[in-house]
Amino acid sequence: MAQVKYPVQQLHRIAWTKLTQDQIGDKLRAANGPSSASELSDVYAGRQIKIVTGHGPALSYRFSSRNRLAVSENGAAAAEAGYGALTLGDIVFFTHLLPGTQRGYHVIVDRHTNLATVFEVWFSGYKDNREVQRQAYHGYVELSGQEPPKARHAPTNRAEGKGYYWKQDSGIETLEFYPSTAYSNFVELTRLGGELGFCAPTDYILVNDQVCIYQRTECEFSGIQTIYAFDANRVEQIGARLGFNEKDELEYYVFRGHGEWLGQLAHFEKFGDAGVPPANQPAAAKGARRVYRPIETFKTFTRPEFDRIAAQHPAKVFPPGANAMAGNKQEASGYLAGTAMTIRYDRGPVIEYNFDEIQSLRWREQGVSNWTVARYEAWESAPGLIMFAHLLAGAPNHDCHVVVADFDNNLASCLHGTMGSHYIGNEAQVENLFGVLERQGSVAPKYARHHFTDELVGKALTWNYSTETGLTSMHLYTTPHSLSWIIFGQDGAGGLEWSGPAAYVKIREGIYLGYWLEEACNGTLGTILINMNTMHDCGAGYHGGPDGVSLTAVGAHARHAGQFNVRKYFQPGRGVSSV
């Protein structure tokens, strides 16, 4: 079994070099066309074609060989360039850069219809020069004596909900999910060890009933671009990768790959809606795309700065008033009021509790004489299954405990949240604690514990947080260690998407405790107890911001949105981390 190559830093933790235009120019000058692990196609060698696009360039090509071409843009003088082409049935994909520039083209031609899509790509078009910019133009291959075809390739939602395992000819393996019309999620099994899934803005262009063009740019990370045409029946792909990796090396190659269909998530658009809603289509400006850039809106602090802020601002713990994330939350439970218990965590603290009122408790670590009063809120997810959460005033890291107490089995699980990571002072971190409940008149188990599970991995659930506001997202549990969330547009199409590290614990049959960390995002720790029997969750969000620490309720109604068959990719035998 090949050793898994885990990265020193995951994508969201890399301090990506701000490459200058000159540096990029130098690196592009050294490229002489794309490399390829597969033999390049000679489908166009010795031929000339002209591609006409609407609102875009007319490109006249003369292919002198299988890796050299001359291209004229809009009738201008031709420039020679290296190129690479691959075919997949009737589909031809070829790519080239324009020497002396930071631009190039990816071209996809359907030889059956003579329709073509041209992606113009360029660097140094955004404040982060390394982020590949793109503009898609749809047109056709001009044939002398023939009327231009009227049809065009077009943005589509037909790929939405699909998911594939891909293995490229270079050996690179990925899981790629398309839960949105504007974004996609990718798990790098080979490059990054498959621990986490990441998200990137994505174009989906329908070529024909079985072939779709996929283009993603890893904005907020390397800025690298992956583009391919894939055949949903053959489960094969041809495409290219263009951009600068974590070593600032140019990656420019064509690839072919084959894969496995992983499943299909539900669509939530109206029946008959097979296009892409305007909100998810690029704006008129060249290169425009909707990109979620979370770190731009995350107000970050160093740990000393945040300690001062927290000292100046009383923590907000389940504050009264409207909460858009909890419009559909469960009622606060009085199950615990008037009770006392001890939770003994394995290799963790032993916490004694007195629940004095429905929202007021006292806690202390065993052996400590003084009690600390805390505001809490509890929810009864199932009979005898209580989730409650509170802050640990006086603890060193603005700590919180989000506890699931199973009174039928005397088991407890805790998500111990702390504020401050190695990178950001007000970014939450978390550890899972497992233990038992000790109460008068009952005996705790010696060996049984809640445990991590992969039963959720690959599932997608929608969560409607508020009937009033309609705020709804979809969770996609992408790996045993990550979770992605997708925002819907008002037309029901999947829109922006992001992801974070996560873990899942099985509490009872159909009931799971999960968390996700909004690392390099807005720093929140999200915790939920998912009850798939009631299709309702309860939970708490733990956040540190300019107003100090907050602990607020979360609650939403769920719907099943489908499942990807991906658990096998995270089994120990594959060498990828397992639960």
Partner 1 sequence: MKPTRRSFFTKASAALALPLATGAFSQAPVAAADDVTSVRRLQQALAREINGATGHAAELFAGGTLPLALAGVIGLQPMDFGEHDFIEIAADGRTARATFRCAVESHIPIAAEGTLIDMARAQGEGFTRSKAYRILDMVYVRARGTWKIDVLSMHEV
Handedness of CA 305, 311, 312, 316 (dihedral sign): positive
CB of 475 to partner 1, least distance (A): 11
CB of 471 to partner 1, least distance (A): 6
- Distance, in Å, from the CA atom of 542 to the CA atom of 526, rounded to the nearest integer, reads 7
* DSSP secondary structure code for residue 279 in this structure: G
Stretch that binds partner 1, among 68-76, 365-373, 429-437, 495-503 (CB under 8 A): 495-503
CB of 497 to partner 1, least distance (A): 8
Stretch that binds partner 1, among 255-263, 409-417, 441-449, 470-478 (CB under 8 A): 470-478
Residues 6+ apart with CB under 8 A from 290: 182, 201, 279, 280, 282, 495, 496
Within 523-562, the residues that bind partner 1 by CB under 8 A are: 524, 541, 543, 545
- Per the CB < 8 A criterion, the answer to whether 374 and 395 are in contact is no
Residue 476 is encoded by which pair of tokens?
């996609």
- Per the CB < 8 A criterion, the answer to whether 418 and 505 are in contact is no
- Per the CB < 8 A criterion, the answer to whether 547 and 526 are in contact is no
Which residue, 179 or 545, is less far from partner 1 as judged by CB? Answer: 545
Site string for partner 1, 291-310 (x = CB under 8 A): xxxx--x-------------
CB of 325 to partner 1, least distance (A): 6
- Distance, in Å, from the CA atom of 285 to the CA atom of 132, rounded to the nearest integer, reads 16
Residue 465 contacts partner 1 per CB under 8 A: yes
Site string for partner 1, 125-164 (x = CB under 8 A): ----------------------------------------
Site string for partner 1, 65-104 (x = CB under 8 A): ----------------------------------------
The kind and range of the H/E element at 311 are: helix 303-312
Which residue, 34 or 523, is less far from partner 1 as judged by CB? Answer: 523
Q: How far is CA 312 from CA 390, 392, 400, 549, in A?
A: 19, 17, 18, 11
CB of 523 to partner 1, least distance (A): 10
- Per the CB < 8 A criterion, the answer to whether 316 and 551 are in contact is yes
Stretch that binds partner 1, among 60-68, 227-235, 336-344, 519-527 (CB under 8 A): 519-527
Residue 274 contacts partner 1 per CB under 8 A: no
Which residue, 268 or 485, is less far from partner 1 as judged by CB? Answer: 485
- The residue from 23, 281, 323, 397 that contacts partner 1 (CB under 8 A) is 323
Residue 487 contacts partner 1 per CB under 8 A: yes
Which residues on neighbouring strands pair with residue 253, listed in sequence order? 35, 241
Stretch that binds partner 1, among 41-49, 219-227, 352-360, 466-474 (CB under 8 A): 466-474
Which residue, 96 or 543, is less far from partner 1 as judged by CB? Answer: 543
Question: Which of 166, 164, 191 is closest to 177 using CA atoms?
Answer: 164
Which residue, 66 or 536, is less far from partner 1 as judged by CB? Answer: 536
- Per the CB < 8 A criterion, the answer to whether 262 and 566 are in contact is yes
Within 325-364, the residues that bind partner 1 by CB under 8 A are: 325
Residue 495 contacts partner 1 per CB under 8 A: yes
Which residue, 52 or 291, is less far from partner 1 as judged by CB? Answer: 291
Question: Which of 23, 33, 20, 59 is closest to 141 using CA atoms?
Answer: 59
Residue 151 is encoded by which pair of tokens?
């049809």
CB of 280 to partner 1, least distance (A): 7
- The residue from 232, 235, 340, 471 that contacts partner 1 (CB under 8 A) is 471
Residue burial 292-306, b: 16+ Cβ < 10 Å; e: rest: bebeeebebbeeeeb
Within 249-268, the residues that bind partner 1 by CB under 8 A are: none
Question: Which of 114, 92, 310, 117 is closest to 203 using CA atoms?
Answer: 117
The kind and range of the H/E element at 306 are: helix 303-312
Residue 308 is encoded by which pair of tokens?
């001062």
Site string for partner 1, 275-294 (x = CB under 8 A): ----xx---------xxxxx
Stretch that binds partner 1, among 99-107, 171-179, 370-378, 520-528 (CB under 8 A): 520-528
- Distance, in Å, from the CA atom of 182 to the CA atom of 261, rounded to the nearest integer, reads 20
| Residue ranges in contact with partner 1 by CB under 8 A | 182, 279-280, 290-294, 297, 322-325, 465, 468-471, 473, 485, 487, 489-490, 495-496, 498, 518, 521-522, 524, 541, 543, 545
